[in-house]
Amino acid sequence: MSLPRIAVDAMGGDEGVRVMVSGAALARRRHDQFKFLLVGDETRIKAALDAHPNMRGASEILHCEDVVGGDEKPTQALRRAKTTSMGLAVNAVKAGDAGAAVSAGNTGALMAMSKLALRTMPGIDRPALAALLPTLGDNDVIMLDLGANTGYDARNLVQFAIMGAAYSRIVSGQAEPRVRLLNIGTEDIKGTDQLQDAASRLREATGLAMQFDGFIEADKINRGQCDVVVTDGFSGNIALKAIEGAARFVTDLLRNAFTSSLRSKIGFLVSRPATELLRHHLDPNNHNGAVFLGLNGVVVKSHGSANAAGVANAVAVAARLLEEDLTQRIAADLGTLQAAQSTSGEAA
């Protein structure tokens, strides 16, 4: 299958051009149908491409020297959407010159530019940032929103649940992903009015391709007990940072323990296969590629500190969402929900 090309903001991220181009090249070695629009400084991109002959016939360069700063406010970045590598990558999706955009730059700026250029889908009030997190189960868990919105209501949470379930069906292959709302307890009486209202709406909804299983607490997110965790952007971002911090704490703790004495070093050699498996499972590069769901187009956010393998994963996420037509899946599910609500209203 021939896929639309992917616009890559080659200037974003901690290391910029070298890692972004290397990541795109690695993705193409795994899937030789990928094609790219590399946006950024032409001289630097060409120099990076010299090390990747597999990219020569698969890439076009859109020259741009202006870059969105990591600490730049979204409102400031928006004013330069037509001159920065990030803005031009997103606008390429809007213009149809690319099927998706990938950037490792400023998250707030990317969200603002994407929302302005692509707009939200009909039936979606606010886009949400969704990411895959590792679990003890067979599949990763999708969590959203992770920071695109701080304010929310029950309607937003229901929309997030629909978008998350559609995404989960693509990455997990399950016909009806298990969906839960993040809460301070699993009992039906727990939580804010918004959570209670959202839970009630999801329980009453019929025909949706998901299983709504009520609430989940933060300490169960990675246990493999559900496929989609839905929350607001404020709580979601805090939960994500806590999970990432705990993962780094565990790996650092193990490193310190295994280097504390000669006996510990010997123990490390014996247990190395297990510790390497743990390190691989917790490495954020292996789960890289957060998605802005609810837009009229595909935009994927890579970690700013991602290495080439991480960028390649983000590119692969973008390509898969194009191949599986995520936006059409979400639109169909929204239509099912709206039809059910209309029928319910007529019956009442």
What pLDDT does residue 348 have? 41
Q: What is the DSSP string of 201-229?
A: HHHH--S-SSEEEEEE-GGGGGGTS-SEE
Q: Which residue's entry shows tokens 């890559």?
A: 8
Tell me, letter by letter, the H, E, C secondary structure of 269-302: HHHHHHHHHHHHHHCHHHHCCEEEECECCEEEEC
What amino acid occupies position 244? Answer: E
Is the distance from CB of 160 to CB of 179 less than 8 angstroms? Answer: no
Tell me how far apart the terminal alpha carbons of the chain are, to the nearest angstrom.
Answer: 47
What's the CA gap between 79 and 72, in Å, rounded?
Answer: 11
For residues 315 and 290, the answer to whether their CB atoms sit within 8 Å is: no
Give the architecture-level CATH label for domain 1-121+294-324: 3-Layer(aba) Sandwich (3.40)
The pLDDT of residue 42: 94
Average pLDDT per consecutive 10 residues, the chain (348 residues; last block may be shorter): 82 88 91 90 93 89 91 89 94 94 92 93 91 84 86 90 92 90 90 91 86 92 91 88 79 72 62 53 69 94 88 91 88 79 55
CATH top class, domain 125-287: alpha beta
pTM: 0.85
Tokens of 294: 């609810």
What SS3 state is found at 129?
strand
Beta strand 128-133 pairing with 141-144: antiparallel
Give per-residue burial for 58-97: e unless 16+ CB within 10 Å, then b. Answer: bbebbebeebbeeebebeebbebbeebbbbbbbbbbbeeb
Give residue 347's pLDDT: 47
- pLDDT value for 57: 86
Among 310, 304, 254, which residue's Cα sits nearest to residue 279? 254
At residue 343, the pLDDT reads 61
Residue extents of the structural domains in the chain: 1-121+294-324, 125-287
220: which 2 tokens? 């169960």
